[in-house]
Amino acid sequence: MKRLILILSIFSLFLYIKSSVAAELKVAYVDAQKVLDNSKAGKRTKATIEEYVKSRQKIIDLEEEELKRMDSELAKQAAVLSPEARREKEEVLKRKFAEYQKRAADLRGEVDSKKIEVLKEFNQGLEETVKKVAEKDGYTIIFDKNPMGGPLIYAKENLDITDKVVAEYDKKTSN
């Protein structure tokens, strides 16, 4: 239902623009995911995210190794420990495991926040670049071809200006 309303709204917008603008309506689309994958700025963005994820994963891996070591020690010593000493070590292990789970959740939150921050910066640059291309080439409207199902359902391939946007974005970020 929302999709139908969105399509009707876009169609109404086209009719309004067509009737109120004397110049020819020039429409195009950009595949933002392809810009992210192929532009220098997009590759840097993805590398930044990947590097951040790896650094956080190292922290989790180290804590996980420590838990495994402690669990292994407890298993080896279980037969010789008194019930009280064993219970104490089990409690320490449980506490450490709970801390590990909390830390892992916090780090996942940090990673998600970092992704949002870095992608927001990339998207701002992309919007500026698309606007520059639109103004330079006289486009009235440029859509994002969202593979997850956005407002663009169909468009002819000759309306795709993604490669032009990638080239312009790379030119902008090279300076």
- Regions of the chain with pLDDT less than 50: 22
Give the Å distances, CA to CA, from 110 to 14, 46, 113, 119, 152: 42, 16, 5, 14, 33
User: What distance lies between CA 75 and its chain's CA centroid?
Assistant: 42
pLDDT at 122: 93
pTM (global) more than 0.75: no
Cα–Cα distance, 93 to 81 (Å, whole number) = 15
Q: Which residues pair with 144 in a beta bridge?
A: 30
